Structure 1
Amino acid sequence: MLIRLTKKMMISGILAILLACMLALPPVSACTIFAVTPGASDDGSMYVAHTNDGVGFDWRNYDDISLVYVPPADYAPGEMRPIAFDPNSGSDAAGNKADGSSEAILGYIEQVPHTYGYYTASYGMMNEHQLLSGECTDYAKIELSAEEGKRIFYSSELSNIALERCTTARGAIELVGELIETYGYYGTGETLIFADPKEAWVIEMCSSPEGTGGLWAAEKIPDGEVFVAGNEFRIRDIEPDNPDMLYATDLFRIAEDNTMWSPADGALDWLEATSYGEYSHPYYSLMRVWSIQDRLAPSFNLSPYVENSYTEAYPFTITPDEKINLTTAFSLYRDHYEGTEFDLTEGVAAGPFGNPYRYLGPDDAHTDFQNESFIEVRAGANPRPVSAVFCAYSYVAQARADLPDPVGGVLWFGPAVAYETVYAPIYAGAENVSVPYATGDREVYDPDAAYWTFDFVTNWAMLRYDAMIGDIQAKQSELESESIAAVRTTDTRAVELIQAGDEEGARQLLTNVTVTRGDEIIDEWHALTGMLVVKYSNGLITDPKTENIEESGYPAWWSQEADYQYGPRVYELDKLRETDGLNYTGQSIWVPKNASF
């Protein structure tokens, strides 16, 4: 079975489709994004990556974990495109929704004669012309509610429209900026990356204090560099004469009139003018930026510690010490800070078996924890890893200038948690995706849905993470290596078909490979799931081949921390428990039955 949307379906059900692409997660909604420019990759590829993370009130009656392919379409003069409210925006209402209205369309803009095919979910990802996009939410000082005819755009619709209408990164930036200024912006601060096979840009946006239009700034990522963001604006000084910077027409005037900035301050610092910085608590954002930059460029000797949210310790972009390949790009999302002093697989909180995931509490939630004068010091918070357990999906989108658009663009899509997922190849020229990737929601467990296929393994692994992660990584590496090899072979065959004038045949090939490979990965992961359930059931480790059973118990350090040494080792248990300072040694001895403790 294949999933694709026809133009008829698009027109008759556009509202449902748009809402199905939106993930609503106001209490904790946070993403990590990066872009690797061609000069920084080992084969000249452009990479744009995005983790779509979030939990909480998420409008679960809408699909929020599935992938949607929107095909190209033609429109007659005078047709209008509806702009849907995004419940993931942090906004209070959609039109009159706060008053009980069910209205979810905020307005309309004029449709264009032709739109491009693209892949989307909560946000646009990649279109048929190798235009790539990624998104993360940011903390802005001004976050206004949606209002029909006044503030109708949030980043999700902006990313989709850019992929529908644009073929270049700069063109996408210019279109998004124009839409924000013309139709208004609502909701949280946002960062979008747009990249084509040769050029990458970052655009950041927020509501305007004047209530109409919106504020935005954009900066080009220099070739040979890598950009990283994690829920905090990354653009700093706005340089009016810099051809690699663009910004809202009235940015300086609005900032000055509304005491956000004064010429006496010097350069307009976009981050300081529009935001207090980090998204949820100290190091919530900056620790992820530090981790990825430090992994790629250890020669920079970056410190994980900063003075405040406005630190300039982490540059806008970095030059990696070594060229980045696709496998390295995947690995950037598989990070619990292993090997650093923030390693989430270590310590009491990780339990006896190195579980890197933490239950979320009120101190982890996104609130306005700092302002101009004060910072809320909470009881505590867990470090926010790059690979978060509440991830809905992640992807690494790849564009290659030396290949035709249908072949050059590959969306490497991974359902559920990044650390334990498998990235499956989806070609820009493919017109369908595997059914498991296009179905499912968080309210109903469905073992056939790609999200639940992978999310189950992540949750099962928490029972004995230190052991199970080895099995998971072995299969993960095997499947991704097979996919990379399959893409190389398919590239050659598809290019030959296109050069022979058979583009339709090439698209059919790309579609078949996309769907078949997705099905194969899901089948393989189901088989892995069954093996893991059998091998690690009931606190035992059972070798499925030899049937040997290991009763491994707990590590010595955990036994010490858990007061194992005060357990039922002798009959005089009450006296044993009254003895202070006993250390667990892991040794067994023989003593007379009447020995005193």
Structure 2
Amino acid sequence: MRKLTIQIFAAIALLINANTGNACTNYLVTKGASVDGSTMITYAADSHYLFGELYFKPAAVYPAGTLMKIYEWDTGKFLGEIPQALQTYSVVGNMNEYQVAIGETTYGGREELQDSTGLIDYGSLMYIALQRSKSAREAIKVMAELVEKYGYYSSGESFSVADKNEVWIFEMIGKGTDIKVDKKTKKAYNANRGAVWVAIRIPDGYVSGHANHARITTFPLENMKTSISSKNLDKIFEPDVEVVYAHDVIGFARQKGYFTGKDEEFSFSDVYAPLDFGAARFCEIRVWSFFKAVNKDMWNYFDYAKGHDLKNRMPLYIKPERKLSVRDMMNFMRDHLEGTELDMSKDPGAGPHGLPYRWRPLTWKYEGKSYFNERATATQQTGFSFVAQMRSWLPDAVGGIFWFSVDDAASTVYFPVYCSVTSVPEAYAEGKGDMLTYCDDCAFWVFNKVSNFAYLRYDLMIQDIKRVQDELENRFISQTAVVDQTALKLLETNKEDAVRFLTDYTVNTGNYVVARWEKLFQFLLMKFMDGNVKQEDGKGGLKYNQYDYCPAPVKNPQYPDWWKKNVIDATGDKLAVPEGAASH
């Protein structure tokens, strides 16, 4: 048993090291699985180093010969330069003006396959593709061609790539570094430049997800109809094509000795990112938690998600038992494994106030034994998260809504950003602050003030947070139809007026959210200061006593009995009041 525990801990440690920078979660919804025919993808960018802000790149035209500098998204490291496209499209956050949206999760995979000479990291890959693509299929083509030509710098990555009609999952890993010297030029080059990858369209009416582990296993091989290899990449635009893969995805695995079976038995995930306990318990469980919320049959995979039955592999996509809304997707991003035995708010680690978080490290030791904390979808270290909603029945300028938030998804607010905007709310704009630079009116810091204060007495404070959260998000969702109709009316006569209207609405809404959240922080600070709980006056404020002089009598909620027992067990009679003695 001890040997097994050590092996499990080693597997967990490898997984954690591969995913230190970004441990993220994506959920994917096709048109036929949504209540209104939207396609949707969600993304939580979880990193202890990522400052949450709303990126914006306006459309531009560049002279021939212009070079684009590439910086690694995670660290800011300069990687090199590549030719700039002559025309780029406007991008806000992770959605462009044509309703193309991309998210990601890092799975690491085989460490030896990271290419230290590559020019394109996974972050640059996403944002360059958004600037150059009018559809999900074009984005996949752009991404595949970029890594083929310039090399892929990052470790294994899963991407969600969606437009107003389709949703794809696209998994990639580099080919390592094999330095050779050209006999003619005498210059060194990487003979393994590029990447191996597979992209699969999620069937209409289905949902999928990925969370830091490669999920594509076997897939149909090339038949020039529904499945093509990268040798025929131009055929990706043919509507019957549902699977695209690197032409050497199997051959390279054979060359490296990773795979020796029949081609049709080849599994991308099993070969390039072998499944282990940690991959299931920390990663796949987040996908499972989404799946089980929309299809009760997914409880059959609970043991798999817990890392106990790895042979019972969860499907890549499933059919939900009901249609899903934007509101549903927001709530799925707030999951703490509630409704399961793994609910982090229910064990003693949650403390007396039911905190569903555990501070890092994720694994820990006690008296020579190894243990771990659960990793749920909602987590404290989220930089930003979004629900990207693409609507095919509307013009692109109106159809794409990028529901954006910063910080912990459970205690944040998603507000609507229309994909055609020409500016973003000042409170969310790039450059206002960073992880080491505080600013009073930065969305990231305002939301962190609320969440980090709430972690002190979570069971009580989260109720007030959710009340305001629901108030705002429900209002924004209910306003969508009116905003859409107003924009459509303006669009009939002048597109610039429509875009200006949507930009003003987005900017004003985002700035209002931050101002409202600052007011919430002030309210929470006054209400819960020093462990007391002040009474509310029923008008959104706090209640004075009958003389309007000081607070009405405050409440002092009791600690739970299990906590009292633990204190008594640990201290014996030290804190006991002697019989007959007065107590206060």
Distance 2:581 2:385 in 1: 61
| Structure 1 residues 159 and 403, CA gap change in structure 2 (3 angstroms) | same
Is 1:454–2:447 an aligned residue pair? yes
Q: Is the 8 A contact 1:145 1:186 kept in 2?
A: yes
The corresponding residue for 2:140 is 173
User: What's the offset of the Cα at 1:144?
Assistant: 4.8
DSSP-derived class of the 2:282 partner:
coil
The corresponding residue for 1:80 is 67
Q: Which of 393, 398, 404 is matched with 1:407 structurally?
A: 398
Q: Which of 515, 522, 546 is matched with 2:507 structurally?
A: 515
Is 1:552–2:557 an aligned residue pair? yes
TM-score (norm: length of structure 1): 0.82
Give the residue type in structure 1 aligned to 2:422: E
Is 1:524–2:498 an aligned residue pair? no
The corresponding residue for 1:286 is 284
The corresponding residue for 2:218 is 237
Distance 1:25 1:260 in 2: 19
User: What's the offset of the Cα at 1:83?
Assistant: 2.5
The corresponding residue for 1:444 is 437
The corresponding residue for 1:351 is 351
Q: Which of 149, 174, 179 is matched with 1:182 structurally?
A: 149
The corresponding residue for 1:372 is none
| Structure 1 residues 406 and 279, CA gap change in structure 2 (3 angstroms) | farther
Is 1:538–2:520 an aligned residue pair? no
Q: 235-244 vs 218-227, which deviates more?
A: 235-244
Q: Is the 8 A contact 2:362 2:373 kept in 1?
A: no
Q: Is the 8 A contact 1:65 1:440 kept in 2?
A: no
Distance 2:255 2:580 in 1: 87
Distance 2:347 2:498 in 1: 52
Q: Is the 8 A contact 1:232 1:279 kept in 2?
A: no
Give the residue type in structure 2 aligned to 1:555: P
The corresponding residue for 2:547 is none
The corresponding residue for 1:113 is 86
Deviation digits for residues 334-364 of structure 1, max 9, x if unmatched? 1111121001111210011101111112627
Deviation digits for residues 9-40 of structure 1, max 9, x if unmatched? xxxxxxxxxxxxxxx99635200001111100
TM-score (norm: length of structure 2): 0.83
User: What's the offset of the Cα at 1:279?
Assistant: 9.3
User: What's the offset of the Cα at 1:436?
Assistant: 1.0
Give the residue type in structure 1 aligned to 2:517: W
Unaligned runs of 5+ in 1: 1-23, 95-103, 366-376, 572-590
Deviation digits for residues 43-62 of structure 1, max 9, x if unmatched? 0111111000012xx4xxxx
Aligned residues: 514
Give the residue type in structure 1 aligned to 2:473: E
| Structure 1 residues 345 and 116, CA gap change in structure 2 (3 angstroms) | same
Distance 1:309 1:437 in 2: 43
Q: Is the 8 A contact 1:232 1:278 kept in 2?
A: no
User: What's the offset of the Cα at 1:202?
Assistant: 1.1
The corresponding residue for 2:28 is 35
The corresponding residue for 2:333 is 333
Q: Is the 8 A contact 2:70 2:124 kept in 1?
A: yes
| Structure 1 residues 266 and 250, CA gap change in structure 2 (3 angstroms) | closer
DSSP-derived class of the 1:459 partner:
helix
Q: What pairs up with 1:82-481 in 2 under 5 angstroms?
A: 82-87=69-74, 104-108=78-82, 110-120=83-93, 125-144=94-113, 147=116, 150-209=117-176, 211-240=192-221, 241=223, 242=227, 243-264=241-262, 266-277=264-275, 283-306=281-304, 311-361=311-361, 363=363, 379-438=370-429, 439-481=432-474
User: What's the offset of the Cα at 1:258?
Assistant: 1.4
Unaligned runs of 5+ in 2: 1-16, 179-191, 228-240, 538-542, 544-551
Q: Is the 8 A contact 1:430 1:507 kept in 2?
A: yes
Q: Is the 8 A contact 1:79 1:111 kept in 2?
A: yes
Q: In percent, how many aligned pairs have the same letter?
A: 31
Q: Is the 8 A contact 2:101 2:163 kept in 1?
A: yes
Q: Is the 8 A contact 2:344 2:357 kept in 1?
A: yes
For the aligned residues, what is the CA RMSD? 2.4
Q: Is the 8 A contact 1:66 1:441 kept in 2?
A: no
| Structure 1 residues 264 and 534, CA gap change in structure 2 (3 angstroms) | same
| Structure 1 residues 593 and 512, CA gap change in structure 2 (3 angstroms) | closer
